[in-house]
């Protein structure tokens, strides 16, 4: 017999505390159902996912969404469980058993790989590590980037993350970074940096650039701070430019590149450039210094117009070498399944690094849905989309959940929910971080920042966060 009733509580577990987890929770809380209970589980003691550990320190306006996320904590139906890793501290099975609905919002935790010789050289750094390092992710605090020995950096991949990294490497530590929440360690390293030129390299052509015009323009305008755009490989583009019809966004990108390339000749000091139609095939170490590279070997590609008037990228036999002492791979993040997925019959698309779904409803290969299982954000869509797109997809997922609950009474069967989970955490002696604990940590960061004239000074040690949380 089903134990559901119209007044049954709807108990929802959300895994992750990035934008998609918070926006979905906020949308669910809007339903005014007094019987709703949302528990959010975050493996780190601190919330906000890539808003904290991804978004560049000089974009505080992007991080204002954190204020909006705080609204959840004012609702008694919501509870934050920081420092609780689903898979180790609590089994996924325990969430499935104790909640009516589980929302998977745990993001894309790994990085893509090129799979070429030299990729494991210490001077080939993944953007995930590099970004985590300057943003205070404890996992990367000992990265030791040898910027004091480097003149030329190549970034492989040309999305907005690559553009953020160019700013990090070239903007002035004193006038640009010192007041932001960049870590003190990263700031000190940047002060000693000898980097002069950054090349952003991509496999495809100019029109396929992954960065947005807004970020591109922001970087071009840093000309005022003495960071010069050395130009781009326009010659590749010109060969067929007259044959293609450009859209509004592409026209604007071209205008920007042309406008700022004009200053190319007077480049001195710090500069950056865009290179296209080349694929790295090998990283070659510097025999005189094991922590640096000597160069990167690229295979040149060619852009051709196919019979359907579409541009196709084809590899050529030509190899070129680019002198660079450091390479940062910015070729995208990748989602992974949680350990228990297979046992619990939760599908995963390993090729795309995402959970198969329709409007967030997790779908098996045969087209059937997994009851009570939903996903949102990067783990649902692949590592694409920004915080704004999370707003939209979260609204869709929250609406799907509420529609399904209305249509299927069994989704309201009695579940133990929060009480049981708190009991399990206590039995296992796991110190979970509550929202109030987090506010104490945040205040400590702001206070430390004030003393240094910064927005905040992030704590880069989880034990220290837990200590602060313990203080009354
Ligand atoms: C370097 C970088 C810069 C960016 N800059 C911008 C920008 O300026 N503007 C913009 O709009 N967008 C930006 N983005 C994109 C934006 O950060 C993402 O769109 C967004 O964070 C994705 O949200 P999410 O909730 O899906 O995942 P995430 O933000 O990654 O959150 C996932 C959370 O789940 C947690 N988690 C993972 N596994 C577990 C587990 N087993 N148990 C418990 N918790 C778990 C993680 O710790 C994390 O907190 C940037 C992205 C990157 C990588």
Asked if pLDDT for residue 236 goes beyond 80, the answer is: no
What is the 192 CA–ligand 1 centroid distance (Å)? 30
Confidence bin at 243 (pLDDT 50/70/90) = confident
pLDDT in tens, 177-227: 999 999 999 999 999 999 999 999 999 988 889 999 999 999 999 999 999
Q: In the prediction, which pLDDT does 465 show?
A: 97
Residue closest via CA to ligand 1's atom 16 equals 386
Residue closest via CA to ligand 1's atom 1 equals 54
Report whether residue 417 contacts ligand 1, using a CB cutoff of 6 Å. Answer: no
Q: Are 201 and 275 in contact (CB under 8 A)?
A: yes
Please give the CATH topology (third level) of the domain spanning 10-110+334-433.
Rossmann fold (3.40.50)
- Mutate which of 23, 45, 49, 139 for ligand 1 pocket (most atoms within 8 A of beta carbon): 49
Which atom of ligand 1 is least distant from the CA of 49? 49
Report whether residue 55 contacts ligand 1, using a CB cutoff of 6 Å. Answer: yes
Longest dimension (CA), the chain: 80
Confidence bin at 3 (pLDDT 50/70/90) = very low
44 is in an annotated binding site: no
Q: In the prediction, which pLDDT does 263 show?
A: 54
Asked if pLDDT for residue 389 goes beyond 70, the answer is: yes
Which atom of ligand 1 is least distant from the CA of 378? 26
Q: In the prediction, which pLDDT does 6 show?
A: 43
- Mutate which of 46, 107, 134, 136 for ligand 1 pocket (most atoms within 8 A of beta carbon): 107
Q: In the prediction, which pLDDT does 238 show?
A: 67
Report whether residue 19 contacts ligand 1, using a CB cutoff of 6 Å. Answer: yes
Q: Where are the domains of the chain?
A: 10-110+334-433, 113-331
Residue closest via CA to ligand 1's atom 51 equals 54
Report whether residue 62 contacts ligand 1, using a CB cutoff of 6 Å. Answer: yes
Residue of higher predicted confidence among 126 and 239 = 126
Distance of CA 192 to the CA centre of its chain: 27
Q: In the prediction, which pLDDT does 44 show?
A: 97
CA-based radius of gyration for the chain: 24
Q: Is the dihedral of CA 340, 346, 348, 353 positive or negative?
A: negative
Q: In the prediction, which pLDDT does 400 show?
A: 98
The H or E element that residue 156 is part of is strand 152-156
Report whether residue 54 contacts ligand 1, using a CB cutoff of 6 Å. Answer: yes
Asked if pLDDT for residue 447 goes beyond 80, the answer is: yes
Least confident of 61-70, 237-246, 289-298: 237-246
pLDDT above 90 covers a percentage of the chain that reads: 85
What is the 194 CA–ligand 1 centroid distance (Å)? 31
Average pLDDT of span 21-28: 98
Q: In the prediction, which pLDDT does 232 show?
A: 87
Q: Are 104 and 148 in contact (CB under 8 A)?
A: no
Q: In the prediction, which pLDDT does 235 show?
A: 73
Asked if pLDDT for residue 27 goes beyond 50, the answer is: yes
42 is in an annotated binding site: yes
386 is in an annotated binding site: yes
Report whether residue 42 contacts ligand 1, using a CB cutoff of 6 Å. Answer: yes
Average pLDDT of span 4-14: 77
Residue closest via CA to ligand 1's atom 6 equals 55
158 is in an annotated binding site: yes
Residue closest via CA to ligand 1's atom 18 equals 386
pLDDT above 70 covers a percentage of the chain that reads: 96
What is the 391 CA–ligand 1 centroid distance (Å)? 13
Number of residues written out for the chain: 472
Partners of 204 in the β-ladder: none
Q: In the prediction, which pLDDT does 143 show?
A: 95
CATH architecture of the domain covering 113-331? 3-Layer(bba) Sandwich (3.50)
What is the 47 CA–ligand 1 centroid distance (Å)? 10
Average pLDDT of span 403-407: 95
The H or E element that residue 425 is part of is helix 418-427
In DSSP notation, 289-322 reads: EEEEEEEEEEEEEEEEE-TTS-EEEEEEEEEEEE
Task: Name the 3-class secondary structure at 352.
Answer: coil
Report whether residue 161 contacts ligand 1, using a CB cutoff of 6 Å. Answer: yes
What is the 56 CA–ligand 1 centroid distance (Å)? 13
Confidence bin at 309 (pLDDT 50/70/90) = confident
Average pLDDT of span 262-272: 68
Least confident of 24-28, 42-46, 251-255, 377-381: 251-255
pLDDT in tens, 70-104: 999 899 999 999 999 999 999 999 999 999 999 99
Asked if pLDDT for residue 287 goes beyond 90, the answer is: yes
204 is in an annotated binding site: yes
Beta strand 326-329 with 289-305 is unpaired
Average pLDDT value over all residues in the chain: 93
Report whether residue 109 contacts ligand 1, using a CB cutoff of 6 Å. Answer: yes
160 is in an annotated binding site: yes
Beta strand 289-305 with 311-323 is antiparallel
Q: In the prediction, which pLDDT does 207 show?
A: 86
Q: In the prediction, which pLDDT does 7 show?
A: 56
Average pLDDT of span 232-246: 74
């Amino acid at each position: 017999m089903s134990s559901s009733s119209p007044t049954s509580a709807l108990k929802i577990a959300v895994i992750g505390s990035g934008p998609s987890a918070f926006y979905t929770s906020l949308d669910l809380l809007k339903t005014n159902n007094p019987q709703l209970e949302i528990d959010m589980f975050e493996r780190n003691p601190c919330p906000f996912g890539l808003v904290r550990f991804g978004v560049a320190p000089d974009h505080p306006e992007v991080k204002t969404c954190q204020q909006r996320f705080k609204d959840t904590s004012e609702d008694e139906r919501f509870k934050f469980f920081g420092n609780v890793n689903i898979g180790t501290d609590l089994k996924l099975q325990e969430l499935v058993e104790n909640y009516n609905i589980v929302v998977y919002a745990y993001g894309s935790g790994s990085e893509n790989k090129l799979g070429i010789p030299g990729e494991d050289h210490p001077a080939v750094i993944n953007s995930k590590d590099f970004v985590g390092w300057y943003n205070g992710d404890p996992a990367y605090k000992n990265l030791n980037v040898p910027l004091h020995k480097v003149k030329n950096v190549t970034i492989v991949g040309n999305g907005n993350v690559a553009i953020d990294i160019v700013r990090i490497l070239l903007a002035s530590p004193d006038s640009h970074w010192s007041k932001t929440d960049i870590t003190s360690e990263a700031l000190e390293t940047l002060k000693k940096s000898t980097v002069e030129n950054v090349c952003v390299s991509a496999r495809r052509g100019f029109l396929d650039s992954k960065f947005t015009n807004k970020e591109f323009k922001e970087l071009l305008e840093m000309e005022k701070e003495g960071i010069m755009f050395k130009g781009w490989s326009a010659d590749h583009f010109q060969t067929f430019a007259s044959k293609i019809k450009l859209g509004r966004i592409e026209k604007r990108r071209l205008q920007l590149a042309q406008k700022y390339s004009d200053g190319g000749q007077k480049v001195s000091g710090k500069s950056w450039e865009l290179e296209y139609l080349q694929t790295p095939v090998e990283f070659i170490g510097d025999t005189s210094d094991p922590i640096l590279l000597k160069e990167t070997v690229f295979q040149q590609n060619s852009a051709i117009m196919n019979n359907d008037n579409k541009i196709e990228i084809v590899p050529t036999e030509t190899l070129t070498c680019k002198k660079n002492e450091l390479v940062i791979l910015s070729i995208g993040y990748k989602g992974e399944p949680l350990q228990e997925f297979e046992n619990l019959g939760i599908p995963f698309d390993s090729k795309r690094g995402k959970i198969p779904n329709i409007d967030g409803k997790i779908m098996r290969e045969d087209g059937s849905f997994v009851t009570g299982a939903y996903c949102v954000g990067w783990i649902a869509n692949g590592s694409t989309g920004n915080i704004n797109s999370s707003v939209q997809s979260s609204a869709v997922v929250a609406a799907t959940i509420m529609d399904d609950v209305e249509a299927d009474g069994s989704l309201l069967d009695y579940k133990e929910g929060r009480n049981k989970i708190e009991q399990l955490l206590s039995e296992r002696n796991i110190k979970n971080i509550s929202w109030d604990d987090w506010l104490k940590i945040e205040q400590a960061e702001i206070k430390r920042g004030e003393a240094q004239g910064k927005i905040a000074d992030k704590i880069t040690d989880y034990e220290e966060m837990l200590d602060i949380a313990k203080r009354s």
